[in-house]
Amino acid sequence: SPLRTPRTTSSSLVYPKAPNVHESAEKIVLGAAKFVLGLSSYINGMLLKQCSGFLIDWSENSKLATVFTSAREQEYAPDAEVRVHLDDDVAQKGQLMYYHKHYGFALIGVHMDQPDLLASFSSEEVRLAQDVFVLGGESHGCCTGGPVVDFNGVVMGMENRNGLIPCSILNKCLHLWRRLGCIPRLRLGLKLSAIKFLGICPQVEKIYRMSNIVDTGLIVEEVSAGSIAENHGVRKGDIVKSLNGRCVDTTAALEHMLLSICVDHFDKGHGLDSSMDVTVGMFFTGGGVHGTIKFTAIASNGVEIFAKGTDTVSDNEDHNPTSMSPDEANEDDIW
């Protein structure tokens, strides 16, 4: 089903009528609109950006609320003045609490009276063809930064200019931020795309003939120069099959796994910049072999700089990844 896109303010809601949207959904969306806000940022009095956000926390002692919102690198300025629009006529100065460059979101603090409602996150992911609503402040630009909610008004994710950030990733990020004051990631140095979203095409047919992989796994689109992955022989066109023995079928699923590894690592008492062992199941297209690479990764809060690395491995090039243990390709190796 198409993604519904209501736009909300504190006093009104407008969205396209559709025959399969029940009238009861109006009450659900109007209720969820209570935790949606508009935000504006300014540099030297000049408007930089307008977007939406949603309330996730409020302290009775400090009267400080936390707002989740979108923040792309191209539009982010650390010295910008942020104004949070509590209603059509009142804008309160906000303060940047945290900005995450990779995921493109920010946490903004704003002092306010107790809100009527705080957003609650779903424990489930958005399903294919599920009807959802993207909420955003109509008088403050667009839905970017607004919550994606289901028919119970529960947040399934956040809308940004690159698409949906699922609630599983938002939950993991919040857990790490509340515990550590930052959101560290394990960095593989790869740009990936999901095979399952390519549909039926010659590339998918070739992958299936070579590897027996049909609808899961991630194609390596680019490898960062000097990264762990490049040093272990991963090249453009190879396929990531699994992480620590668990099959991966989307980039969101991989991000969730990487964050889960970090959460478990820090919950066991380890600190920032500590190391952990990771195993990645691969299909190396240059050599036509299945295998695994094992390496030690660092959970760092530093910004990852992606540099263009080694290009595609040709069919004639020797492709011998380091720390690789070959798997036997058989009928059970369908990922």
pTM for the predicted model, two decimal places: 0.78
The answer as to whether 262 is a domain residue is: yes
Does residue 34 share a domain with residue 164? yes
Show the tokens assigned to 36: 């949606």
Q: Are residues 241 and 159 in the same domain?
A: no
User: What's the CATH number where 271 sits?
Assistant: 2.30.42.10
In a domain, 49, yes or no: yes
Does some domain include residue 289?
yes
Are residue 59 and residue 199 in the same domain, yes or no? Answer: no
- Say what the pLDDT of residue 76 is: 64
Residues 284 and 169 in one domain: no
Residue that finishes a domain, picked among 176, 198, 224: 176
Residue 185 within any structural domain of the chain? no
End-to-end Cα distance, the chain: 27
Q: Which of 176, 199, 230 is the last residue before a domain boundary? A: 176
Whole-angstrom Cα Rg for the chain: 22
Q: Is residue 92 part of a domain?
A: yes
What is the CATH number for 128? Answer: 2.40.10.120
- Predicted confidence at residue 192, as pLDDT, reads 92
Cβ neighbours for 316, distance < 8 A, ≥ 6 positions apart: none
* Domain range for 292: 190-327
- Is residue 332 in some structural domain? no
172 with 58, same domain: the answer is yes
Contacts of 114 (CB under 8 A, 6+ apart): 58, 60, 63
Among 150, 176, 202, the domain-final residue is 176
Residues 127 and 265 in one domain: no
Report the SS3 class of residue 10.
coil
Identify whether residues 102 and 156 lie together within a single domain: yes
Structurally, the chain folds into a number of domains equal to: 2
63 residue type, one letter: K
Distance CA 130, CA 290 (A): 35
The answer to whether residues 196 and 171 belong to one domain is: no
DSSP sequence for 323-334: TEEEE--STT--
Same domain, 108 and 196: no
Per-residue pLDDT of the chain (335 residues; tens, 9 = 90+): 223 334 433 333 334 444 455 566 777 778 888 999 999 889 888 988 888 999 999 999 999 999 999 887 545 677 889 999 987 678 899 999 999 888 889 999 999 999 999 999 998 887 777 888 888 855 444 668 899 998 888 999 998 877 789 999 999 999 999 998 999 888 888 999 988 887 767 777 777 777 777 778 999 999 999 888 899 999 999 999 999 999 999 888 999 999 999 999 998 988 888 888 999 999 998 888 999 999 888 888 866 666 666 555 444 344 545 444 444 333 222 22
241/126 same-domain check: no
**pLDDT attached to residue 140:** 47
Residue 110 shares a structural domain with residue 240: no
Residues 164 and 200 in one domain: no
Distance CA 133, CA 15 (A): 10
Return the SS3 of 96: strand
User: For residues 147 and 31, what is the distance between their CA atoms, to the nearest angstrom?
Assistant: 13
- Would you tell me how many other CB atoms lie within 10 Å of the CB of residue 113? 9
Whether residue 97 contacts residue 66, with contact meaning beta carbons closer than 8 Å, is answered with: yes
Task: Spell out the residues 6+ positions from residue 118 whose beta carbon is closer than 8 angstroms to its own.
Answer: 35, 55, 56, 57, 58
**Residue 182 forms part of a structural domain:** no
Which amino acid does the sequence have at 70? S
Report the DSSP beta bridge partners of residue 278: 295
Would you say residue 334 lies in a domain?
no
